[in-house]
Amino acid sequence: MPHKARTAAFAFLAIGALSLTACGGDDSAASDDAGSEFNLVSEGTLTVCSDIPYVPFEYEENGEYTGFDMDIVKEIASGLGLELAVQDAGFEGIASGTVLAANQCDLSASAITITEERQEAMGFAEPYYDSLQSLLVPVDSDIKSIEDLDGKKLGVQGNTTGETYARDNATGAEIFAYPSDAELFPAIQSGNVDAVLQDLPVNIGHTEDGDFTIAEEYETDESYGFAMDKDNTALVSAVNEQLTEMRDNGKYQEIYDKYFTE
């Protein structure tokens, strides 16, 4: 299991698609029947659904999708002799398993916390990242902890474990759920909400300009996993094998260090 990050280096169904050729492999690796045992959406291609942007896990840079999750799935696809295609999809469809059930993609990679409810709908590979929740506030805010949210406006991303944690613990707060961080962070920037509760690495990225700070962190024992169709056990096993190989050969640590530093 990876170490918990303390700092970060810096709608229904797809709204766009960008195809990427998985790096690290050669042309001979991708044969005509590559991945045929996985019942892929597109032959020879690992199609991945992700809710973009969600820095530092998935985002677009110079016309390509990148980030911690994206770099890992590139390596997985390459190790399986497959090309990689990324579908930008809403998190609600990803978290519920709808995009997999609709045969839109083979794998979902979108900082998805593994929960019992989600495991009923999807098959997960072994966890690849441990996460904390956190509370982001303006640097001059009088909010110092979750106890100070009574009567305040709190922003969360809808259909996430962060929303669940907020509704269970932010007593007295008026909670506003946004579709993604792309709407959530501007809400606190404009003053529409007083604080944001979501995954620590994402909130850390919003402190870089000095206008916002992390007021509090929360241990929730959350781990992220790549989700697949429950019946596609061959693909789940293959992804687990690739994750193990990446940890053994140091590639996982290399990618981790690229996005997370102490």
Q: Quick check: 30 pLDDT over 60?
A: no
Who contacts 65 (Cβ-Cβ below 8 Å, separation ≥6)?
18, 20, 50, 52, 58, 59, 86
Q: Domain 132-221: state its class.
A: alpha beta
Q: Which segment of 28-42, 75-89, 115-129, 220-234 scores lowest on mean pLDDT?
A: 28-42
- Tell me the domain boundaries of the chain: 14-128+225-259, 132-221
Average pLDDT, the chain: 89
> Using CA atoms, how far apart are residues 22 and 47, in angstroms rounded to an integer?
11
Q: Which residues of 84-108 are buried (b: 16+ CB within 10 A; e: fewer)?
A: bbbbbbbbbbbbbbbbbeeebbbbb
Is the domain defined by 14-128+225-259 classed in CATH 3.10.450.50?
no
Mean pLDDT of 31-52: 87
Q: Which residue has the tokens 């001979």?
A: 28
Identify the pLDDT of residue 36.
77
What six digits make up the tokens of 158? 């809808």
Burial class (CB in 10 A: 0-12, 13-18, 19+), 187: middle
Structure tokens at 83: 């090309």
pTM of the predicted protein model = 0.79
- Burial of residue 241 (CB within 10 Å: 0-12, 13-18, 19+) is middle
List the structure tokens of 226. 């790549």
Judge whether 14-128+225-259 and 132-221 match in fold: yes
What does the alpha-carbon distance between residue 15 and residue 119 come to, in Å, rounded to a whole number?
A: 25
Lowest mean pLDDT among 5-14, 75-84, 171-180, 247-256: 5-14
Residue 15 reports pLDDT greater than 50? no
